[in-house]
Amino acid sequence: MNDPMSINEAARLTGLSIPTIRAKLDKGLLPNAKKVKQGKRNSWQIPFNDLLDADLIKPQPDQAETDQIAKLENTISELTKDLEHTKELLAARLEELEGYRQRERSLFNALETRETQEKRRKFWLFG
């Protein structure tokens, strides 16, 4: 696979169009590509490594990597579901806690201190 390839082969390998490969050559993104005389015309010879270096070809993972990626994606999906469920439970508990806090405030407001009780007793006794 280290043999240089033509523009047609590079286009097929990368999934890009021939004009796109030509544009990359014109911009100098494939620096080791060379024009070679073939009969009466010149043709480009593009090294595979130039296509890799220009990020036009992504290395394909082997089957073990693909399986591991799928397993990790499933784990991420399960953890995301767990996180959403935990968020729902937390929201319910926070709502419940706020109810308890409101009840505590109302009970606290209903309680009178000894001083308040004494003032009330004096008011009614001498009122």
Domain ranges of the chain: 7-53, 63-122
Q: Any residues with CB less than 8 A from the CB of 13 and at least 6 apart, and which?
A: 5, 51, 57
107 to each of 20, 93, 99, 112, how far by Cα in Å?
76, 21, 12, 10
Two structure tokens written together for 55: 């990020």
| Average pLDDT value for residue range 99-127 | 85
Query: Which pTM value belongs to this model?
Result: 0.45
| Average pLDDT value for residue range 10-19 | 90
Q: State how far the Cα of 117 lies from the Cα of 104, in Å rounded to an integer.
A: 20
**pLDDT tens, position by position, 36-92:** 888 888 889 999 999 988 888 866 778 888 899 999 999 999 999 999 999 999 999
